[in-house]
Amino acid sequence: MSTLTDTLGKRLTAQDVADYLGIDVETVRRYYKHLGGIRLGRLILFFDNLVIDAIKEKSNAVQKKEKEQDAVDSRCDVQREEVLQDIQYQDRGISLGIRNKKKSGRKPDDPFGILEAD
């Protein structure tokens, strides 16, 4: 029995794990596999060493994923900068819209003579 205790550590309840992690007991029961719990029928058992190992494993996986995401983000930044350097700046005038339309030599239709009145 002492070998089992040495290997797995002290037996914990779901309430002990919840108190330690600062979360609800129902959350501990729902995610017992992620927290290193073992289910025997309706009984869920937790042991010190298994909980610690599960937390370390999840923490390492999260850190690895963050490092991979940072590497992807940095590659995207480099690619974005290259694309921006490839785009030539197009100088446009300050005034846009109707003032930039070409003037036609045609006079506007004015059947009532409103535009000619000065």
Tokens describing residue 71: 């590497």
Domain that holds residue 75: 2-86
Q: Is residue 103 part of a domain?
A: no
With CA atoms as reference, report the closest residue to 48 among 1, 88, 5, 103: 5
Alpha helices in the chain (DSSP H): 2-8, 14-21, 25-30, 48-86
Predicted local confidence at residue 26, as pLDDT:
94
Q: Is residue 113 part of a domain?
A: no
Q: Give the pLDDT of the chain (118 residues) as one tens digit per residue.
A: 678 777 888 899 999 999 988 999 999 999 999 999 999 898 899 999 998 898 888 888 888 888 887 776 666 666 666 655 555 555 555 555 555 555 566 666 777 777 766 5
Q: Please identify which residue in the block is written with the tokens 């501990």.
A: 28
Q: Is residue 23 part of a domain?
A: yes
Supply φ then ψ for residue 80, to 5 degrees. Answer: -65, -45
Cβ count near 93 (within 10 Å): 7
Number of compact structural domains in the chain: 1
**Is there a contact between 17 and 31 (Cβ–Cβ < 8 Å)?**
no
* CA-to-CA dists, residue 54 to 33, 75, 80, 97, angstroms: 9, 32, 38, 63
Predicted local confidence at residue 30, as pLDDT:
93
